[in-house]
């Protein structure tokens, strides 16, 4: 980036009021979409990565979870980091590092190098996500306009997640698995260009909680290791996870500025939004991972064909996100969440009948209710979370919500990947039942949310 462009960005060059909000939303949406794309574009490429780099099931799980784990664990602090240095400055640093790490992934000569670069990608993504949502929160002070902006932001991420398998299949077939990382380079350049003209956000005091962050990283890493590796090493890691988790809770209860303010969860809207977001992530991200393998390893489809099998579920997500945002703006978050979660449960239960003899197109059709249910649920729960916290805690709240979602998705992939490794069809059915049970529980919790219409201008 030219020095003049950097100076303009960090000085917060002024823009007309009408253009400012739209420009900020566009940059935030594209940045969020970029990091969400990377969460799903890799899935269809996993068999090709395994073949080229000699990775087994656990290695492939780490390719996904190295990104997810770093993303989730560091997001606990990057929300406060975003508030402390200013969301616009945090956003540009995160986007630049993410783009460079994507190039390192594409050039990785072996599995260890790829996993290491994925960790750096996850760290950068952890900076981008809360900063992008905080920018949207700051750009739209009016609650009704903010709800629509958050819905658009969430829709951008959902579309990227949904298109990831299709893009991954196409890139892997037309090029090879390295193409799923190199595609981030031009996208990252566009985001950085937009950020040059976006107005600067003001920094706010936000002390960093290093003991809390350290114990969280140890606990989450150990828990993921236990789920993926199993055996004696896995049992030892589980003990480390429990001890570190207890230490984390003790530290957070005593710190004056904790990385996760436990008092947030006293608000039932916050607690419900976090629980529902975690359950949706377990169901959606884990099923995309599992069915990417199912299409290629059980039904023996090519990477491109496997990616195209996700097209029916991806095509309706953007429209459904917009509908969910409008419903939340008019009626409050409870209605779309109570429509979406049971629909996702029904979709998961229908997938129980899938086996090696099921036609691929039928499997693709049966994935649609899960996707629609998730798309109806995520924008309202995100908007509800943002409405439940003060503006000056937006970065921290965004970090908590999305860390919970990423942790849940990563653990789902770790656990369900281990289940299908021991027997694909039996493991698939158990994974579907666990996901359905979690969403059924959060559907009940969502009944406690306020049902009155959101405030309108």
> What does the pLDDT look like over 90-128, one tens digit per residue?
888 999 999 999 999 999 999 999 999 999 999 999 888
3 state DSSP class of 205: coil
* The pLDDT value given to residue 201: 63
Q: Do residues 132 and 150 lie in contact, with contact meaning Cβ atoms separated by under 8 Å?
A: no
Which DSSP letter does residue 297 get? I
Domain contains 204: no
Integer CA distances (angstroms), 26 to 45, 162, 329, 390, in order: 29, 19, 20, 23
pLDDT digits (tens, 9 = 90+) for 371-419: 999 989 988 888 888 777 776 666 677 778 878 888 888 888 888 988 8
Rounded Cα gap, residues 321 and 156, in angstroms = 9
- For CA atoms 160, 166, 168, 171, the dihedral sign is negative
Domain contains 1: no
28, two tokens:
């935030």
Domain contains 218: yes
* The pLDDT value given to residue 11: 40
* The pLDDT value given to residue 121: 95
* The pLDDT value given to residue 325: 77
Q: Do residues 152 and 25 lie in contact, with contact meaning Cβ atoms separated by under 8 Å?
A: yes
* The pLDDT value given to residue 205: 61
Domain contains 453: no
* The pLDDT value given to residue 6: 38
> Which domain CATH number covers 420?
1.20.1250.20
Q: Do residues 303 and 425 lie in contact, with contact meaning Cβ atoms separated by under 8 Å?
A: no
Rounded Cα gap, residues 55 and 62, in angstroms = 10
- For CA atoms 328, 333, 339, 343, the dihedral sign is positive
Domain contains 15: no
CA angle 270, 338, 264 (to 5 degrees): 5
Domain contains 11: no
* The pLDDT value given to residue 395: 63
CA angle 162, 163, 167 (to 5 degrees): 145
- Structural domain total, the chain: 1
Rounded Cα gap, residues 381 and 385, in angstroms = 6
What averages of pLDDT result for each successive group of 10 residues across the chain (457 residues)?
A: 39 47 82 85 88 85 87 76 78 92 94 94 89 80 76 77 82 89 90 74 68 86 82 85 91 81 82 91 89 91 90 80 80 87 95 93 94 89 80 70 83 87 89 95 84 46
Q: Please state whether the predicted TM-score (pTM) of the whole model is above 0.85.
A: no
Which range marks the domain in which residue 148 is found? 20-197+210-446
* The pLDDT value given to residue 255: 81
Domain contains 430: yes
CA angle 263, 268, 270 (to 5 degrees): 65
Domain contains 203: no
């Amino acid at each position: 980036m030219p020095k003049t462009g950097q100076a303009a960005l960090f000085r917060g060059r002024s823009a007309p009021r009408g253009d400012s909000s739209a420009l900020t939303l566009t940059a935030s949406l594209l940045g969020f979409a970029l990091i969400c794309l990377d969460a799903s574009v890799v899935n269809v490429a996993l068999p090709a990565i395994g073949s080229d780099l000699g990775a087994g099931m656990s290695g492939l799980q780490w390719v996904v979870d190295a990104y997810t784990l770093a993303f989730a664990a560091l997001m606990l602090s990057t929300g406060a980091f975003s508030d402390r240095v200013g969301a616009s400055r945090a956003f540009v640093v995160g986007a630049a590092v993410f783009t460079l790490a994507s190039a390192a992934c594409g050039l990785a000569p072996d599995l260890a190098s790829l996993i290491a670069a994925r960790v750096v990608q996850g760290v950068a993504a952890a900076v981008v996500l809360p900063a992008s949502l905080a920018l949207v929160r700051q750009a739209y002070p009016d609650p009704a306009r903010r709800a629509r902006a958050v819905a658009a932001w969430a829709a951008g991420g959902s579309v990227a997640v949904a298109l990831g398998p299709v893009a991954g299949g196409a890139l892997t077939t037309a090029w090879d698995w390295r193409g799923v990382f190199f595609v981030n380079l031009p996208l990252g350049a566009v985001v950085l260009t937009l950020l040059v003209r976006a107005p600067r956000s003001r920094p706010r005091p936000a002390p960093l909680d290093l003991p809390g962050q350290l114990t969280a990283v140890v606990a989450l890493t150990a828990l993921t290791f236990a789920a993926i590796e199993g055996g004696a090493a896995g049992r030892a890691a589980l003990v480390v996870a429990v001890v570190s988790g207890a230490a984390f809770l003790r530290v957070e209860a005593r710190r004056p500025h904790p990385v996760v303010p436990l008092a947030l969860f006293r608000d039932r809207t916050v607690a419900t939004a976090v629980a529902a977001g975690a359950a949706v992530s377990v169901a959606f991200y884990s099923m995309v991972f599992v069915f990417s393998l199912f299409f290629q390893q059980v039904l023996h489809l090519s990477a491109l064909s496997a990616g195209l099998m996700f097209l029916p579920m991806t095509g309706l997500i953007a429209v459904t996100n917009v509908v969910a945002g409008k419903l939340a703006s008019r009626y409050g978050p409870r209605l779309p969440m109570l429509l979406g979660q049971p629909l996702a449960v029904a979709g998961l239960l229908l997938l129980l009948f899938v086996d090696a003899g099921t036609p691929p197109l039928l499997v693709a059709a049966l994935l649609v209710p899960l996707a629609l249910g998730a798309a109806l649920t995520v924008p309202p729960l995100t908007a509800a979370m943002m409405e439940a916290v003060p503006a000056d805690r937006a970065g921290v709240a965004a970090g908590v919500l999305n860390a919970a979602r990423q942790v849940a998705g990563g653990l789902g992939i770790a656990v369900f990947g281990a289940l299908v490794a021991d027997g694909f069809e039996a493991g698939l059915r158990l994974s579907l039942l666990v996901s359905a049970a979690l969403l059924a529980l959060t559907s009940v919790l969502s009944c406690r949310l306020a049902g009155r219409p959101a405030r309108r201008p």
